[in-house]
Chains A and B, each alone.
Chain A
């Protein structure tokens, strides 16, 4: 698997280099690229989507401030990932300190993240809308033509590359690309009205 070129790591290096030279717009592109991954990562610690977004934003700000010291010894995403985890753990600790006045350090965050009483609670309305979205997506996938459903599931569930999916489904890579795209478009068409009409944000 030619993961080297496929993870767009070189693109990250290029964007980081531009940011280090003062191009702030290049940083916007890195934010666009990684926002979902970082929000999801942080949410795994905080278990509160709203707070997760604030902490994810904080992560990007911290990373920007520290980007001068980034020298590419690890991939940019790995580096960003570490900052996100630290920021999330520190946030968890501050949340506990606010409530308990306890003396804690960052290594206590791991235990705290599993404490159920600290999980954020969403409003029932929000949960309903969210569940609607999840169910709509899942129902649309179920209704997809077989070859489209298989292609997108192999990609998303199994993390297979287009080449691997092509082998598994015995079809050209171009067909895989097209099937996955059409699957996403089909799901997207069902998702758009929900997002437009529901107060999902």
Chain B
């Protein structure tokens, strides 16, 4: 099926209803505005309902249609994505573990991502955490493909982050569409369901391939470490960004360790990487300092002594530059 056909399906969005999320009472006390109350209910629905559908991700000018499954049972959740176009792959998220199986090469990549919860949209549990940074507004209702939806705009209070707009179905309160906008209001990324069905139950699928001749090819076994072990520290962190995760681990298919610090403001995340300079990259980068981008993600590299430091995140270029310019190497000391 062609990408164009899927794009058309965006306008033929159909949703079958067979279950409704019941929201926990405590969420009501945490939120004040109607918009936040809806988002709370949406988070609960996302975590507790069983649903599947076809979702299209628009990133970096490329449309990627995938089958999406979310199974939930007794507090456990599993997300599953099946690609419809090459490279053919199946991606399964069980708690903090993401397994990606490439059908052509039969390669299984296991990735530990304890800091993420959803392929669709990650929001903090306590939406009040966003108050200082974003304004959350309920916009007039709309219809998406003839279905009634709430529309919520999460707008930054400064220029250091992007706006998000979420369309959530009135009946199940699941996000049917999410868009990320830059400062000029241009769409940077989009996720939209072309069909979505809710079921009383969906099976959990094993990420472990039964064929022992196809072992795990690559494992990113992340162990959270104290960021005090990082070779650098940040002198200027934009308001609201907090350290979420730090690890030092080998990368680039070698034993080369790279320090990785992840920051988040609850909605947007920024990574800071540090590794010894690679001469080839050194030559390529010395001509001028500039911010590059892949879709909504901007990144900026600079050198300090013999190290290459890169800041990367789905934030405006000024934000990655601000963080990068505030990086300092930690004073020499033996831990």
Q: Are A and B direct contacts in the complex by CB distance below 8 Å?
A: yes
Which A residues have a C-beta under 8 Å from some C-beta of B? 1-4, 44, 47, 72, 78, 81-82, 85, 110, 114, 119, 121-122, 127, 130-131, 134, 138, 146, 149-150, 153-154, 157-161
B112 touches A159 (CB 8 A): yes
Q: Which of A3, A114, A121, A154 contacts B217 (CB 8 A)?
A: A114
B74 touches A146 (CB 8 A): yes
A154 touches B224 (CB 8 A): no
A3 touches B114 (CB 8 A): no
**How many chain B residues touch A (Cβ–Cβ < 8 Å)?**
32
Chain A contact residues, majority secondary structure:
helix
User: In whole angstroms, how far apart are the Cα atoms of A3 and B263 in the complex?
Assistant: 19
Question: What is the CB-to-nearest-CB distance from A157 to chain B, in angstroms, rounded to a whole number?
Answer: 5
Q: 0/1 per residue, B197-228, Cβ < 8 Å to A?
A: 00000000010101011011101011111101
- 10 other contacts beyond A85-B255, A131-B212, with CB at 8 A cut-off? A3-B224, A3-B225, A3-B229, A4-B335, A47-B215, A122-B212, A127-B212, A154-B95, A157-B97, A159-B224
Assess whether B253 is interfacial by the CB under 8 Å rule. yes
Kindly list the 8 A-B residue pairs having the minimum CB-CB distance in the complex, ordered from nearest: A158-B96, A158-B114, A3-B226, A157-B95, A3-B225, A127-B212, A157-B97, A85-B255
B253 touches A158 (CB 8 A): no
Complex: chain B residue closest to A160, CB-CB = B114
A81 touches B226 (CB 8 A): no
Chain B contact residues, majority secondary structure:
loop
Assess whether B254 is interfacial by the CB under 8 Å rule. yes
Complex: chain A residue closest to B247, CB-CB = A159
A-chain residues with CB within 8 Å of residue B217 when the two chains form the complex: 114
B-chain residues with CB within 8 Å of residue A119 when the two chains form the complex: 213, 215
A44 touches B254 (CB 8 A): no
User: In whole angstroms, how far apart are the Cα atoms of A158 and B97 in the complex?
Assistant: 7
Answer whether A150 and B75 are a contact pair too, CB < 8 Å, given A1-B226, A158-B95, A159-B96.
Answer: yes
A-chain residues with CB within 8 Å of residue B314 when the two chains form the complex: none
Q: Which of A72, A146, A160, A161 contacts B75 (CB 8 A)?
A: A146
Complex: chain B residue closest to A130, CB-CB = B212
Question: What is the CB-to-nearest-CB distance from A42 to chain B, in angstroms, rounded to a whole number?
Answer: 13
A-chain residues with CB within 8 Å of residue B114 when the two chains form the complex: 158-160
A-chain residues with CB within 8 Å of residue B79 when the two chains form the complex: none
User: In whole angstroms, how far apart are the Cα atoms of A62 and B97 in the complex?
Assistant: 34
Question: What is the CB-to-nearest-CB distance from A182 to chain B, in angstroms, rounded to a whole number?
Answer: 18
